[in-house]
Structure 1
Amino acid sequence: MNLKMRYANSAGYIKLENAVAIKEVMINEDFLHPDNESIAIGFRSRECSGLLEFTPDEFEKVSNSVKRKIHLIKGFKVIGSENAGKKG
């Protein structure tokens, strides 16, 4: 995965670009406080590591957006129990 980020500091804008590997997908379920549930994607490279953390609503928006546009990508493979072995 390529990580690209731009942020502002006192010197202006700084761009960060790094190739990282997705290491883990974590789902935090909080039965006592259901509003605090989150989905996090952990990534790591030699130079950096971090988390992309989503609320369930944010993740649903990203998922729906990808589902609508997945036909534009040639040669993808869907991995999962329901769609195992299907190629796009």
Structure 2
Amino acid sequence: MAQPDSSSLAEVLDRVLDKGVVVDVWARISLVGIEILTVEARVVAASVDTFLHYAEEIAKIEQAELTAGAEAPEPAPEA
């Protein structure tokens, strides 16, 4: 029976930094309808090169959305 290849910690870390990982957490604790605690967290693990690549793409998308929003005509006010 063949065992699956095991990855070393260095290989796993290299893959995570190359591809990137995002952990997004949102939790709310309430008691009798009263909010006691809200936790919002976003953890991003990636290499600087990977981060910069995706940051450039996100900036392009945001710029396109802003440009499209500026060109859209405003609705006429209701009389």
Q: Computing the radius of gyration over CA atoms, which structure comes out larger, 1 or 2?
A: 2
In the superposition, the TM-score normalised over structure 2's length comes to 0.30
Structure scoring higher RCO (CA < 8 A, sep ≥ 6) equals 2
More helix by share: 2
In the superposition, the TM-score normalised over structure 1's length comes to 0.28
